[in-house]
Structure 1
Amino acid sequence: MANYSEAHICQCLSRLATARRESVVTIDGDRRKTGIQFVEGVVGLANGLLQLGVVPGDVVSISALNSDLYLEWILAITYIGGIVAPLNYRWGLEEAKSAMDVAKPVLLVTDSSRGFWHSKFSIDNVPSLRWHVLMGMDVKPINTETIFAAELMKEPVGKSVNLDYVWAPERAAVICFTSGTTGRPKGATITHSALVVQSLAKIAIVRYDDNDIYLHTGPLCHIGGISSAMAVLMAGGCHVMMPKFEARLACEAIREHSVTSLITVPTMMADLITINRAQQPSGSFESVTKILNGGGGLSPLLFQDATKIFPRATILSAYGMTEACSSLTFMTLKDPTQDRRSHHQKQNDVTNSNLSAQGGVCVGKPAPHIEIKVHAEGPSSPGRIFMRGPHAMLRYWGQSMHSNPFHQGWIDTGDIGQLDDRGNLWLFGREKDKIKTGGENIYPEEVESVISLHPGVSKIVVVGVPDARLTEMVIGCVQLKQGWRWSDGNSAEVGAQVLSGERLRQYCKDKNLTGFKIPKRFVLWRTEFPLTTTGKLRRDQVRAQLISQTQFLSSKL
């Protein structure tokens, strides 16, 4: 017998059907749905899935751009006890097949968008698939096995199903694939309670409410997009959908719909600032009051620009991971409602910390439901960060417990950090990215945080390459800002906007970066740095490209 006091993400539907019954809760182009229309869409899909033959515990994959329909599908699948396995539309076909080999979905749901792997996919490629459903009806089906969603929602004559939500085994709700930086995709199994608790934390800390108009800048195939969508659904806010992030369209949507909240990563924020300056050089977005930034910290210059174009917004940063159902820690970077003196005092506490002097980056305090501990060799040294709590994944789908990152109930984040005496977590880098040089440990993010402040540096990636004497040599890969030139080290070449390895090394010394952490060599990186489909740096590929350049180690940089 079901215990309805347990968490279920579809519990948000009751509020939408009553308190938000006649209010618009989704805006997707010209299509607007009230709370009751949205709920009816979810229940109609759920009924259709039951009629099709989907049973509790079945996995259903979705590959589509953001839409109101995508939200309905997530809730409809979980309503009947299914497990949602979102797939990244930006993947290649082989990567998508690899993820489905792990998740073993019985049903694949896609939209009508073209140019992505799912537009040329056949269900014959994955043995577990029994059905393919197309969200829209404006294109021809992929193959004869395709079912239109509108047909799926037509209840057979004479059959009436009294629906109530149920759970999958172990209360699993979502299999969310980590982008990873090596190996095959891994599916973090997220429970209903993890999503609900994470949503409540975001409601409490970011302060989402039913007056919010939330712009979906993050894809619904990523845990950040999913968890923030769930938080706004629970809060009863309005969702403004955009198929995928484009800065120009995002700026237009913010103005057209008076958007109050959105999530960003640093590259998104930089693009929004650039586009806004081009469209309205002195303009700003007065309606936005909440911005949650993840995926890396905002540089001082980027933060300064963000406060200008979002003058009324509380800007927060979050540190998290897929295995934690999104955010672990939160930090308020700016709160226009906060007393200026207390805000500056808080920032001074962070800036003046001895951990700041060591090169760590403060990512704030853990959310109330999260436990974090650091395994370190000594009380004043950084170590591996572990976390546990109701937000944590069950395990990686399809893997045994011994192959999962659990240690006596704690999950190893793979990050190196330290907790200060105020409970703030400081990050020093990824354990796997650590550079061992001359018997010393270096975390590249620490070095990058210093060099990135140089006015001529657009992007910097620091890696270690094999060296017979040092074990690894620290190398800085530099992209220049527009208007700057790179010198090969010729002392005759001078100028205010000329950079060289020698000048960058001197800059590091001027910024008091420890000597052994300063890159021994710098190389001008002329192409884009390799990224995963979620925008994470492929540091391993940067390193491999350097090593593969046969003349690299003997060249003067």
Structure 2
Amino acid sequence: MQLTQALTRAVQTRHRFAATLYNDRQRSWAEVGERVPRLAAGLRALGLQPGDRLAVLAFNSDNYIELFFAAAWANLVIVPLNTRWAIPENVYSLQDAGCAGLVVDDGFAAQVPELLKGHPMDRVVHMGDAPTPAGMQAYEALIARTPPMADECGRDDELCGIYYTGGTTGHPKGVMLSHKNFIAASINWIATLHFSDETRYMHSAGLFHLAGASPAFALTLAGGTHVCLPKFDAVLAFEAIQTHRVNYVLFVPTMINMMLNHPDFERYDLSSVRYCEYGASPIPDAVLAAAIAKLPSWEFIQGYGMTETAALTVSLPWRFHFDGEHGPHKRQAAGRAAYGVDVKIVDPDGQELPRGTPGEIAVRGAQVMLGYWNKPEATAAAIRDGWMHTGDGAWMDEDGFITIVDRVKDMIISGGENIYSREVENAVHAHPAVRECAVIGVPDEKWGEAVMAVVALKDGQRVSEQEIIDHCHTLIANYKCPRQVVFREALPLSGAGKIMKNVLREPYWQGKKRSVN
């Protein structure tokens, strides 16, 4: 298994058809198939060697999708950086992965000097449409001037990409994914989620996310058409669906809610969409009901997964969103195991629990990561006896449907983004007035959950809620920063001296059926 198999098949079987649509630019699979080997050769001509890590910090585009396959063609390891992270966070990822090259677009070219202060390098490629800044290589020039190279892609369990995800230790962890991980996930995606060569898929999730990258690989394998939005915006999504007759979309619940409540919603023809996958966080039932009512041509499919499992592991098909052969209330579940994936609910010792008993979701299969980059202890803690322990609490019913009820890991999901409280706590604690703090997720109608910091100040210190929030904005990504700060004289402690977050959460989750929103 090698990632470039997806591209070579698409070129072989769909060379005359549209591969990518971005703004007013359209490229066929034949054009993409001609450009990728030249880009791969251009990257190698810069001095990058097989196995080198190549970082990319960019919004979604047709070029980004080409870069995925060019990096694999040149046997480089792609390291997508999070467009929503603060500069220090991405500097950490560059340093941790030991990246030898960096690709940026127009949106992030200005950050390069700050990024390189923390991780100097002389191989920086600009793949935007504006003039190339001094000291950078032009993406299109690399393609134009470099003869194509033969495919030197890695294969099977060789490392293909490192995707950084938030960490419980206060630093992001680099999830190592192989060629086998990506191809297995792509085949699973096609089988489970109905991708075909007639699919016109709109990329609204960031390609630095597996929610963006995994469908990009699967769609290429299927030979469909990529419709690229730079990033999610309700009006951009409306216009792209209407103009390009998009028939497949993926949204996190927050995006769906924003679209349904947008004042221009009724102005657009969205009837071309047949399938809508949603996931990354639970969807409020009222939002799902409204979506089903307002978008009658759409079939909704829930997907559950994580970076460590190359995305999709559990899926809830459209027919189970309604009462039927398996009884009522199935749409409250995340779904059943996808093809080629083993899923079970386990106790802390890894023993499978009886149906209906809450425990932790564990996953096994060809999609499970190689491990965490340079973190063998974290890898050993996550993958035990071949099973990836997800940290998500759930129970399984007699039909194999999994309902998520809580999180074993101390994590908040806001607007579909994973936020580890330790990272936010580190930022809050850096304020000189703070004595101790705990960060929790509280219910939020718009974002699902909102980040709240509960803070105890040092004796004699006075600071406002906004000062704490502004301080955090200088250290971490905006979406991770507290939306609320509550001050207390002291935080509740257990007998072992640990802050009891369950006590802090309790007042906000009273009356809720589960401890996630």
Q: What TM-score comes out, normalization by structure 1 length?
A: 0.72
Distance 1:349 1:132, change over 3 A: same
Partners of 1:195 and 1:222 in 2: CA distance: 13
Partners of 2:112 and 2:175 in 1: CA distance: 26
Partners of 1:188 and 1:324 in 2: CA distance: 9
- Residue 179 of structure 1, CA deviation: 3.4
The letter for the 2-side match of 1:400 is: P
Contact conserved, 2:242 with 2:269, CA < 8 A, in 1?
Answer: no
- Residue 424 of structure 1, CA deviation: 1.4
Q: Equivalent residues in 2 for 1:441-452 (5 A)?
A: none
The more displaced of 295-304 and 241-250 is 295-304
Query: Which residue matches 2:226?
Result: 239
Aligned residues: 444
Query: Which residue matches 1:289?
Result: 274
Q: Equivalent residues in 2 for 1:310-325 (5 A)?
A: 310-325=295-310
SS where residue 229 of structure 1 aligns? Answer: helix
Q: Equivalent residues in 2 for 1:477-496 (5 A)?
A: none
Q: Equivalent residues in 2 for 1:133-152 (5 A)?
A: 133-136=125-128, 138-141=130-133, 143-144=134-135, 146-152=136-142
Partners of 2:156 and 2:276 in 1: CA distance: 35
Distance 1:72 1:186, change over 3 A: same
The letter for the 2-side match of 1:108 is: L
- Residue 369 of structure 1, CA deviation: 1.0
Contact conserved, 2:85 with 2:478, CA < 8 A, in 1?
Answer: no
Q: CA offsets, 1:351-372, max 9 Å, x none?
A: 5xxxx9xxxx521111121112
Distance 1:334 1:147, change over 3 A: same
Q: Equivalent residues in 2 for 1:241-280 (5 A)?
A: 241-275=228-262, 278-280=263-265
Alignment of 1:100 with 2:94, yes or no, is yes
Q: CA offsets, 1:53-94, max 9 Å, x none?
A: 222111100000100000111110011111000001221111
SS where residue 60 of structure 1 aligns? Answer: strand
Alignment of 1:550 with 2:512, yes or no, is no
The letter for the 1-side match of 2:42 is: G
The letter for the 2-side match of 1:344 is: D
Q: Of 355, 358, 364, which aligns to 1:382?
A: 358
Q: CA offsets, 1:326-372, max 9 Å, x none?
A: 1110002458xxxxxx9521573445xxxx9xxxx521111121112
Q: Of 76, 80, 95, which aligns to 2:74?
A: 80
Alignment of 1:44 with 2:26, yes or no, is no
SS where residue 19 of structure 1 aligns? Answer: helix
Partners of 1:73 and 1:371 in 2: CA distance: 32
Contact conserved, 1:325 with 1:391, CA < 8 A, in 2?
Answer: yes
Alignment of 1:59 with 2:53, yes or no, is yes
The structure number with the bigger radius of gyration is 1
Structure with the larger RCO, 1 or 2 (CA within 8 Å, 6+ apart)? 2
Q: CA offsets, 1:419-473, max 9 Å, x none?
A: 2211112222111349xxxxxxxxx99xx9xxxxxxxxxxxxxxxxxxxxxxxxx
Partners of 2:304 and 2:110 in 1: CA distance: 30
Identity score, percent: 27
Alignment of 1:306 with 2:291, yes or no, is yes
Alignment of 1:368 with 2:326, yes or no, is no
SS where residue 298 of structure 1 aligns? Answer: coil
Q: Equivalent residues in 2 for 1:512-551 (5 A)?
A: 545-546=485-486, 548-550=487-489
Alignment of 1:345 with 2:345, yes or no, is no
Q: Runs of 5+ in structure 2 lacking a partner?
A: 415-439, 447-465, 493-506, 509-517
Partners of 1:193 and 1:376 in 2: CA distance: 29
Query: Which residue matches 1:421?
Result: 398
Partners of 2:172 and 2:442 in 1: CA distance: 28
Contact conserved, 1:172 with 1:192, CA < 8 A, in 2?
Answer: yes
Q: CA offsets, 1:472-494, max 9 Å, x none?
A: xxx9956679xxxxxxxxxxxxx
Contact conserved, 1:285 with 1:311, CA < 8 A, in 2?
Answer: no
Contact conserved, 1:86 with 1:176, CA < 8 A, in 2?
Answer: yes
Query: Which residue matches 1:451?
Result: none
Partners of 1:262 and 1:220 in 2: CA distance: 14
Q: What TM-score comes out, normalization by structure 2 length?
A: 0.77
The letter for the 1-side match of 2:285 is: P
- Residue 386 of structure 1, CA deviation: 1.5
The letter for the 1-side match of 2:488 is: Q
SS where residue 71 of structure 2 aligns? Answer: helix
Query: Which residue matches 1:209?
Result: 196
Partners of 1:477 and 1:187 in 2: CA distance: 28
- Residue 8 of structure 1, CA deviation: 1.1
Distance 1:89 1:402, change over 3 A: closer
Contact conserved, 2:157 with 2:180, CA < 8 A, in 1?
Answer: no
SS where residue 432 of structure 1 aligns? Answer: coil
Query: Which residue matches 1:393?
Result: 369
Partners of 2:384 and 2:290 in 1: CA distance: 42
Q: CA offsets, 1:264-306, max 9 Å, x none?
A: 101100111122xx22538652100011101122222111221
Query: Which residue matches 2:500?
Result: none
The letter for the 2-side match of 1:134 is: H
SS where residue 261 of structure 2 aligns? Answer: helix
The letter for the 2-side match of 1:150 is: E
Q: CA offsets, 1:210-238, max 9 Å, x none?
A: 11111111110001100011111111111
Contact conserved, 2:85 with 2:477, CA < 8 A, in 1?
Answer: yes
Contact conserved, 2:357 with 2:396, CA < 8 A, in 1?
Answer: no
Query: Which residue matches 1:229?
Result: 216
Contact conserved, 1:83 with 1:168, CA < 8 A, in 2?
Answer: no
Partners of 1:59 and 1:282 in 2: CA distance: 45
Query: Which residue matches 1:521?
Result: none
Contact conserved, 2:10 with 2:222, CA < 8 A, in 1?
Answer: no
Contact conserved, 1:61 with 1:84, CA < 8 A, in 2?
Answer: yes
Partners of 1:47 and 1:409 in 2: CA distance: 37
- Residue 155 of structure 1, CA deviation: 4.1
SS where residue 84 of structure 2 aligns? Answer: coil
